[in-house]
Structure 1
Amino acid sequence: MDTVLITLQALVVVGAIYMGVRLGGVGLGLWGAVGVLVLVFVFNDPPGDIPADAIMVILAVITAASAMQAAGGIDYLVHLAEKVIRSRPKLVNYLAPTITLGFCAGAGTGNIIFPLLPVIYEVAYERGIRPERPLSTSVVASAYALAASPVAAAMAAFVGLTSNQPDALSLGQIIAITGPAVLLGVLVAALVQSRVGKELADDPEYQRRLREGIVAPPGAPAAESGLADHGPGAASGTRTTTTADVPVTAKRASAVFFGGVLVVVLLGAFDGLLPTYTVDGETVTLSLTTLLVMVMLAVALVVMLVGKVAPGDVLDAPLTKSGLTAIIALLGIAWLANTFITGNYDTVIGGLTDIASDAPWFLAIGIFLVAAATTSQSASVNTMIPLGISLGLTTPTLAAFLPAMGGVTVLPANGSQLAAVEIDLTGSTRIGKYVLNHSFILPTLVMGIVSVPTALLLSRFVG
């Protein structure tokens, strides 16, 4: 009877995720909340923990990033990236995803890639390079970047979940494990992707579009080639800055934002710099979650002041909308997963303990699959890391599994994937008829296969 009940509850979880993915956006979180209702009222499960820490971090970081966006800071960063990419156009297959990795890790969100996509497309197409190659790798790199980001919500959630473990790691130690691993994964994926697909001159779909005037030959003006209607504004509401006349306020705003990121990294890397308090006779150190929220909200205010941004402009920034969507999705899905595990703790944990003792790497696959199903890095961390802790896995090992949350690009359901397909007028970047046969699946798998084992190797020397 217990097996039947657990199976039915698992079907509720899977069904809610399926319906949420189909609806998209905030629908993922709303269906997750419906699943919680069913588990609580139909199966009498106690409600699981709400991922409050992760939600607070997303709110704080997105507020700061949105203020920077409103001040023109993201346009300035895109301008810098464009200068680097255009300076070495032959290396666009490698420069584009590497720069994307750095920007997204620094900003704590993959959404910064949107205004970069037209730049990547233009540079590749002007050189006759198949745009699918740098576009797909860059989009996937934006997802894996959060495993190496000191201000990502998923990273804060991981630190918060593992901070009480006897082998807890500092933020700097975690980045030392995940950063080089993800970078290597991106470079290997870029190498593999540089050989994917036919050259444009031999691509029948591109040739058809060229004949029909859907896309102009390389070197044509943007308006003639159709890029005027497929710029980053179509995807994110931002503009690509292509001139050197960047407002000084935009430069200051971006400098303040990344200065705040540096403060978080330094304080998180050296616990001795954090204040301590005595609570009930015990010495308690300020948590990374609290540090992140305080610093990033303060950064948001300073960005508004130096960038001369009105409060309403922050709320109107495209990143604010995407952040709210992420919060709702995380709330519903992570809450649903926590409720299921809480209600069936002995059965779920007991059944997985033997597997973990023989093959601890299975948790990385679990993180990858949960990320794929929920399209949320934070949801995968908040769902699977507590499970790993319960199974007795060490914190360095769990940190090494963080790159697996890049599985969010397994399904072509992310805005950056859809935007890349829309921007690529050659038709080389595509979503196939069979769900998984899209341009992003190969770099997703390559980065995961390379980065997780590399991180596991590095974890042996950290801690």
Structure 2
Amino acid sequence: MGVKLGGVGLGLWGAVGVLILVFVFGAPPGDIPSDAILVIIAVITAASAMQAAGGIDYLVYLAEKVIRSRPKLVNYLAPLITFAFCAGAGTGNIIFPLLPVIYEVSYERGIRPERPLSTSVAVSGFALAASPVAAAMAAFVGLTGSQGDALSLGEILVITFPAVLLGTIVAAVVQSRVGHDLKDDPEFQRRLAAGLIHPPAADTGEVMGAHVPVTAKRAAGVFFAGVLIVVILGAFDELLPTYEVDGKSETLSLTTLLIMVMLAVALAVMYVGKVKPGAVLDAPLTKSGLTAIIALLGIAWLANTFIAGNEETVIGGLTDIAKEAPWFLAIGLFLAAAATTSQSAAVNTMIPLGISLGIATPTLAAYLPAMGGVMTLPANGSQLAAVEIDQTGSTKIGKYVLNHSFMLPTLVIAVVSVPTALLLSRLFV
């Protein structure tokens, strides 16, 4: 019901589920994913400040410049740039301004737009598994940080980053051979004959938006400097302060570090970008962040309540399976992401289960790319936007819901990245 309603409806239906479990079935309410919510607030505040300063427009300008410089390689460049941007910014929402660029370059070159569009959109769902500032990554580090075999942020990225990157490349190669070439596509020819779309014109290579204010460049620079600081400090625990708590020495957690740095980055971006506080709240990313918070609150709370109330049945029933086939949890993470359309909700639901089952932290880290299952159902804004942007009709939502343009690249990336990450995780076992 939540997926059908969409947006904040996902979280609101989750909250109704908690209400029913508590009042009808007598289950104690589960933990609210407060850490993940706080991380989203901090990261989105910084990203929104950068957007208000024109920093995202500057990034799009750079992406457009690269793509238009090699238009024939758009099937490969577009997904790779999407991967880099989404991993760096910690949000898949940065793909929205890239979609028109990808479509225009591919169409004007006579390339079937579905190929780069569908791969890029799918990649935006997986890239957060390789992002040091994504809410889902912070949630994972927070959940596994107290384990005896806990990994640093740098070690996690060594496992996930190359794996997702390889999955992206393989998906781009596979997707470049999908469907008819544009000149042979019957639906495109029908629209062209009916005058619903203009014929492709030669790509002039002209890059729009070249006059980017220097404040936008500075804002983007400050944001990614903050990301770099988080990566460096998260990779080397000895750089973090330690404290005596109840007679025990504790190191500053990555979650706390991420929140502090990102809020400080947001303030710095406002100054160098000359952004007023109200403009940060009006930025489109702020709305997206609030939607993500409500969705995460309802769905993760519902899952925590259900699992906590049925821990013996759920965990007991999966223990033997997980011991014999620990990869089963990766499928669970993929399906949880598909059902909730939220990477953070999937991580907060399935990773505690994996910890309870005794699965090693490096193995759990290798499962993180599976949260790209958010692209399984055509319920994401980026999917719907890509379909609307593609006037050729090549990018589509299928009649049977699951047979949409983004399904194949989603499955390819998952099938390639998870086993690759498992191989890399053996370095830390």
Q: Give the TM-score range, shorter chain.
A: over 0.9
User: Hey, what does 1:448 align to over in structure 2?
Assistant: 414
What letter is aligned with 2:30? G
Of 202, 207, 217, the match for 1:251: 217
Please say if 1:211 is aligned against 2:193.
yes
CA distance in 1, matches of 2:40, 2:105: 33
Report if aligned partners of 1:173, 1:269 keep a CA contact under 8 Å in 2.
Answer: yes
Match of 1:33 in 2: 15
Q: How does 1:41-60 map to 2 (within 5 A)?
A: 41-60=23-42
**CA displacement, residues 86-118 of structure 1 (integer Å, 9 cap, x when unaligned):** 111111100000000000000000000000001
SS at 1:283 equivalent:
strand
Q: Percent identity?
A: 81
Following superposition, the deviation at residue 245 of structure 1 comes to 1.3
- Matched to 1:132, the amino acid is E
8 Å contact kept, 1:369–1:407? yes
Corresponding position: 1:98 with 2:64: no
Question: What secondary structure is seen at the aligned counterpart in 1 of 2:250?
Answer: strand
Question: What's the counterpart of residue 299 of structure 1?
Answer: 265
Which of 336, 342, 353 is the aligned partner of 1:387?
Answer: 353
The CA RMSD measured in Å over matched residues stands at 1.2
Secondary structure at the aligned position of 1:432 is classed as coil
Q: For each residue in 1:293-345, what CA deviation from the matched residue of structure 2 results, as whole angstroms up to 9, or x when unmatched?
A: 00000000000000000111000000000000000000000000000010011
The residue type paired with residue 409 of structure 2 is P
Report Cα offsets for 1:46-67 as digits up to 9, x if no partner. Answer: 1111000100000000000000
Q: How many angstroms does 1:220 deviate by?
A: 7.3
| Distance of 1:281 and 1:174 partners within structure 2 | 29
Q: In the alignment, what sits opposite 2:136?
A: 154
User: Contact between 1:62 and 1:320, CA under 8 Å: does it hold in 2?
Assistant: yes
Q: Secondary structure at the match of 2:59?
A: helix
Residue 12 (structure 2) pairs with residue 21 (structure 1): no
Map Cα deviations across residues 279-300 of structure 1 (whole Å, 9 max, x no partner): 0000010000000000000000
Looking at structure 2, the residues matched to 204 and 28 of structure 1 have their Cα atoms a distance apart, in angstroms, of 37
Give the 5 Å matches for 1:39-118: 39-118=21-100
Measure, in 1, the Cα distance between the counterparts of 2:102 and 2:221: 24
Give how far 1:462 is off. Answer: 3.0
Asked if residue 268 in structure 1 is aligned to residue 208 in structure 2, the reply is: no
Matched ranges for 1:219-258 at <5 A: 219=201, 242-258=208-224
Question: Which amino acid in the other structure matches residue 375 of structure 1?
Answer: T
SS where residue 208 of structure 1 aligns? helix
Q: 2:402 aligns with which of 413, 429, 436?
A: 436
CA contact (8 A) 2:33 2:348 kept: yes
Alignment check: 8 A CA contact 2:109 2:203 kept: no
Corresponding residue of 1:169: 151
How many angstroms apart in 1 are the aligned matches of 2:326 and 2:110? Answer: 45
For 1:444 and 1:118, the matched residues in 2 are separated by 21
2: distance between equivalents of 1:312 and 1:214? 41
- Distance in structure 2 (CA, Å) of the matches to 1:312 and 1:212: 46
Matched residues, number: 428
CA distance in 2, matches of 1:214, 1:330: 40
2:318 equivalent in structure 1: 352
The AA in structure 2 aligned to 1:328 is I
Counterpart of 2:243 in 1: which secondary structure? strand
Q: Distance in 2 between matches of 1:287 and 1:46?
A: 28
Aligned to 2:182: 200
After TM superposition, the score normalised by the length of structure 1 is 0.91
The residue aligned with 1:13 is none
User: Are residues 1:144 and 2:130 paired?
Assistant: no
Question: Partner of 1:327 in structure 2?
Answer: 293
Which residue of the partner structure matches residue 183 of structure 1?
Answer: 165
Q: Residue 227 of structure 1 aligns with which residue?
A: none
Query: Following TM superposition, by how much is the alpha carbon of 1:212 offset from its aligned partner in structure 2, in angstroms?
Result: 1.4
- Aligned residue for 2:244, secondary structure, equals strand
2:344 corresponds to: 378
